[in-house]
Structure 1
């Protein structure tokens, strides 16, 4: 059997809506076989077991991993549960760990995750899969093709709160800017209500990012961010794009794309909407390609996710310190707790 036709085994932990999206996407690809299922809630576990009757199921992650010894460990859990599951996957000898964004709950945790994966030689992929949408890709084509001239500003905003949405915005802004390195960030935040959420966040956060190619990034998340009235559901109310010397191009997560280019003679646009069924298929296929060939690095690789996560955490540190924060970040006081304590009640 050639490497390109090998079948890789997968264990999935966290079997809520997103976990089942992952399990179904892996099972629907002939390059993968779901061999393990794990969830703390017996009811969810039983529902998943009925869909994947051949998989070994249990409530103890370490035990299920030890029994299945998968090539891929995928988990979809709240952001507070990252490092122990990464460690469990590494100890089980997996080749790749795929997990939900954001990659961690603090810079300290993110750096520890990165170190653990690097030392073990384990690949990682973080779920920034919106980039596979045709409307996202069309905007990338317009920007990369030079149709809007020299890029001077990239931007992203969402009415969803930070730990839900901000790394998505940053990931695609960095993509539209050719993955230029961020040099510094200035941030400001307001409101403490959303710190009570499982995705603990300030109610509103804004970040100004300076990239080493001279491009400026503007990112906003939360109830003070601009609305996207063209889109009717909060999760999809995201606008991400770039402005150049000859026009702009932007994607609306739930409302297609639009642009003005130097040759368009007005606004051009197209359809598109976030679709997990569509986006998960190439996301999973690219996991197979990376396992086949180390040179075919997954577009949503963990190294890219870390750089985006650092920008988000730098915005939090800046809001506390009231000044620029240089990148890359080193260890420090956990950002969410520090920001919560710094904001007025």
Structure 2
């Protein structure tokens, strides 16, 4: 029996998410973390210990040039996505794993996708919450047909568009079988979060018509419905599906619940995002995809692009006061355009 390939990994970014990636890659026997990079020396040293004490760098270009890893993983603010993608491709990596959102504009997301397609480099975007047992349970209920014909998927979060909206849309698509969107109608309001590290309108409301006939509804930001079952702000996220015979939904921090055609009433179960439980299978699937082209990672970049395109279509619809059909064409960056008309909390575009 052949010994499975061990893939080498270089990591850039030593904040909370960088440390989670460093530790999880290190603990999985399919990977060897050969280098880690960060600007803050104290955080770099702490992350290196979690990663098995690999070589330490403060320049990602130097790190990639000297270590030539199979995988480049970076956990950095979204403003530097494109330069780091280019860096990974230039140094011949096989796969790039990075944090959501995949970009800050559709132009940038499309360019990232084009660069990686042309170079044959795989990409994975961190929409790993779908690995949670409660999300898996809802997916199982939907796939079983117990909801009858699914006609609506929905999501709500108090987090803003580029911070949590990427998760919401991705998991709505996940529950809807990864169907493509046909058109989007959106409304946005408030400009306080436009100066955030994940620049966004304070609130975005989107209606999505999927090509399989299912309608999607998403509320993202400070005017979204609360999720009172959950206390922790970043876990106040509800994603679900409604069918002709019932519904099923998962809360990032509050388990799952459903009513189905055979349940005889409400049913529910536990579940909460847990990096120790849910990050390892996300990481292991990277190795399995590199082993076998047919084992496409559930968080692959092509799927992430389709979700991100929906987010940017919501913004364009608000800006242009019309329904927006997909696929999008490249145009003026959406968040930049919003910055010109949403200077404060009392301005809106619809």
Class of the TM-score when normalised by the shorter of the 2 chains: over 0.9
Partner secondary structure for residue 214 of structure 1 = coil
SS of the aligned residue for 1:82 comes to helix
Question: How well do the aligned residues superpose, as a CA RMSD in angstroms?
Answer: 1.1
Matches within 5 A, 1:309-320: 309-320=308-319
Report 1:149-164 matches (<5 A): 149-164=148-163
Distance 1:298 1:181, change over 3 A: same
CA distance in 2, matches of 1:238, 1:98: 24
Q: Does 16-25 or 50-59 show the bigger shift?
A: 50-59
How many equivalent residue pairs?
344
For normalisation by structure 1, the TM-score amounts to: 0.98
* Distance in 2 between residues matched to 1:180 and 1:51, nearest whole Å: 38
1:43 corresponds to: 42
Give the drift of 1:50.
3.6
Q: Distance in 1 between matches of 2:131 and 2:153?
A: 19
Given the alignment of the two structures, is residue 64 of structure 1 paired with residue 82 of structure 2, yes or no?
no
Which residue of the partner structure matches residue 296 of structure 2?
297
In the other structure, the counterpart of 1:273 is: 272
2:90 equivalent to 1:91: yes
The 8 Å contact of residues 319 and 339 in structure 1, kept in 2 or not, is answered as no
Question: Deviations for 1:185-236, whole angstroms, at most 9, x for unmatched residues?
Answer: 0000110011121111111101000001111000111110000000001100
**Contact preservation (8 Å) 1:317, 1:339:** no
Q: Does the Cα contact within 8 Å between 2:22 and 2:50 map onto a contact in 1?
A: no
Q: State whether structure 2 residue 101 is matched by structure 1 residue 102.
A: yes
* 8 Å Cα contact 1:184-1:324 kept in structure 2: yes
Structure 2 counterpart of 1:334 = 333
Mapping of residues 24-35 of structure 1, within 5 Å: 24-35=23-34
Q: Name the residue aligned to 1:11.
A: 10
Structure 2, unmatched stretches of 5+, are 345-350
User: Which residues of 2 match residues 1-345 of structure 1 at below 5 A?
Assistant: 2=2, 5-52=4-51, 54-343=53-342, 345=344
Q: Note the residue ranges of structure 1 that are not aligned, 5 or more in a row.
A: none
Pairwise CA distance, 1:46: 2.1
Q: Distance in 2 between matches of 1:235 and 1:179?
A: 24
How far off is 1:54 after superposition?
4.2
SS in structure 1 opposite 2:238? strand
Query: In 2, Cα distance between the equivalents of 1:134 and 1:316?
Result: 32
Q: Deviations over 1:295-315 (max 9, x none)?
A: 100000000000000000000
Q: Take 1:225 and 1:12, find their aligned partners in 2: how far apart are those partners?
A: 35
CA shift at 1:44, angstroms?
1.4
Change in CA separation of 1:180 and 1:52 when aligned onto 2, cut-off 3 Å = closer
User: What is the SS of the residue equivalent to 2:78?
Assistant: coil
More off after superposition, 196-205 vs 119-128: 196-205
In the alignment, is the contact (CA less than 8 A) between 1:78 and 1:199 conserved in 2? yes
Which residue does the alignment assign to 2:347? none
